Chain A
Amino acid sequence: MSACITTTNLSSMGEYPCPDPRRMAGGKGYNRFIGANLARDAMIISLKWNPKLSGCEMRVNLTTTLAEPKDILAWNFFKADLVDRIGSPGLGFPSSMIIRRSSSMGLSCGQGADTIVLRRRSQAFNNWQAWYLFTPKDFWDFWGGFDVTIDWFSDTNIGAWAGPAPTYPIVPLPDNTLMVDNAGNFSVVFGGSDFAIPPNLLNLIGGVWGTSLGLTTSFRPLAPTPVDFTLVQELFGGPQYVVFGGAGFRIPDVATLTSLGFNSGQVRPLPPGGAAKLRKYPVDGTFLRELTSSKVYLAEKGKLRLATKAALACISPRNVRVVPDTALAALSKGPKLTK
């Protein structure tokens, strides 16, 4: 058993949060698109889950066409120094690097990266400025195993230093929002996804969802499935489901609901037929275990892959979703996950 304990004041000003891609509604799989509005700079961060990487690895890419040089350091707190570096074209560094989580995979305290540091080269002062970084634990727990592409497109921004932690779920519209499209079709939003309301239910909207037709907003495309931890049940007695990776996992009884840490007040009523929108297999990159089992599976290409002990070392428990017992029995199993 080893422990690496480090103090540093590197992050006193420029630390920004890492939103969890598994807890924000979005497009295909766990591909997510984040706007980063930093103190002097602005960038777009694209996250794409990479099946070839373990949770202790990450590919970081930098794209920029700005004249002022930029670089990204893989930073180790124990060394208080960089362990790898990428940079703007012209700096002589590559534009992509694969980094490993500090002290993981047999690395010693001074190896691997705790976070990344983003800097810009001031021509006027001839030094490196900005020193933005991401909250280290979240950086690895949430973005480990992803390709992280940073498109640094502005260095004339005026934003605030540091940033508040996000609150979850991150969804574009809150639950119970009513939308109407140009053809007059209504839908209701749960977990950041929209569910069509049959015309014969329109008069009951107030009673069912506590809102009214006068409070509708214009239709906009939303995520294909609700975000993780959304609980749903079709009106007129359909089963209750908890949603993880876009898939619905049936909750057989109240005792299980409670054991999973939920209560019935969290269950959202879907219009009839709404549960058909839930996936049968969770999206690639979803980690699951049954309530009374310690076996953790990764969903990939329609199969569940059992994580070996070595693989578990790089799976953050924060990403493992707990489903009712036997909920995984019917899903096909694939080869074991070994890293």
Chain B
Amino acid sequence: MAGTPEGSLDQWPFEQEPSEFDAIIGLPLEPGEGHPRRSPDSQVYVSVSGDARSASWAMGLENDVKLLALAFAAGGAELAHELTRGRLRRSSGRSRKPEQREDVAVAVHGLNLDPRDEEELCDLIRMLVEKRIEDEGRRP
């Protein structure tokens, strides 16, 4: 089936033939492949929701946040700050009136950070959002 993953049908679990489905999710396991295991720390999922979902300043935000989170996981606050040096600053967004600021809620799960690092990461994410909004405001 074009557009659908292909693989061995040795382990095909369905009574129906593949052609009887409109699409297939998942692949049969190739002989000898074994169940692949990934380290739980090897992936960080970033979700951006709320009104931001449709805002242009949020385009690609997931990638930036993911990079920050991975930097924290790999090298702590030091590495994250090194990555963002010169790009983010504490004053980001403070020039705007409070009513103009966005309500940015951040929840960090699954990174196994200590509380101080977690708070630091949340601060960096908020600064990142403020910076993106400011930059968008400057664009013609």
For residue B50, CB closer than 8 A to chain A, the reply is yes
Interface: A10 (CB within 8 A): yes
The CA-CA distance from A38 to B13 in the complex, in Å, is: 10
> Is there contact, CB below 8 Å, between B65 and A7?
yes
In this complex, the member of B3, B33, B53 whose beta carbon has the largest number of chain A beta carbons within 10 angstroms is B3
Q: Which of A161-169, A271-279, A324-332 contacts B (4 or more CB under 8 A)?
A: A161-169
The answer to whether the Cβ of A193 comes within 8 Å of any Cβ in the partner chain is no
Taken together as a complex, chains A and B put the C-alpha atoms of A170 and B3 apart, in Å, by 4
User: Inside 8 A of B13's CB, which chain A residues have their CB?
Assistant: 37, 42, 154, 157, 159
Q: Determine if A215 is an interface residue (Cβ-Cβ < 8 Å).
A: no
A160 to chain B: which residues have CB within 8 Å? Answer: 7, 26-29, 33, 35-36
A44 to B15, CA, bound (A): 11
Could you mark each residue 34-56 of chain A with 1 if its beta carbon is under 8 Å from any beta carbon of chain B, else 0? 11111100101100000000000
Q: A6-B47, A7-B45, A77-B107 are in contact. Are A163 and B2 (CB under 8 A)?
A: no
- Look across to chain B and name the residue whose beta carbon is closest to the beta carbon of A12: B43
Q: Are B27 and A5 in contact (CB under 8 A)?
A: no
A6-B106, A42-B14, A159-B27 known; A170+B4 contact, CB < 8 A? yes
Tell yes or no: A2 within 8 A of B by CB. Answer: yes
- Chain A residues contacting B86 (CB-CB under 8 Å) are none
A173 to B4, CA, bound (A): 11
Q: Does A25 contact B (CB under 8 A)?
A: yes
In the docked arrangement, what's the CA distance between A87 and B2, Å? 34
Chain A: minimal CB distance from B18 (Å): 7
B109 and A3 within 8 A (CB): no
A17-B25, A170-B2 given; A5·B106 CB < 8 A? yes
A39 to B16, alpha carbons, bound, how many Å? 19
Chain B residues proximal to chain A, CB less than 8 Å: 1-5, 7, 11-14, 16, 18-29, 33, 35-55, 58, 61, 65-66, 69, 102-111, 125, 129
- A-B pairs, top 4 by smallest CB distance, nearest first, are A3-B52, A9-B110, A170-B3, A42-B13
A-B contact pairs, 19 of them (CB 8 A): A3-B104, A3-B129, A5-B106, A9-B44, A36-B26, A37-B24, A42-B13, A44-B21, A80-B110, A101-B49, A102-B49, A103-B50, A103-B53, A154-B13, A159-B26, A159-B29, A161-B36, A167-B2, A171-B1
Beyond A17-B25, A159-B27, A170-B2, 4 additional contacts (C-beta under 8 Å) are A154-B13, A159-B28, A166-B23, A173-B2
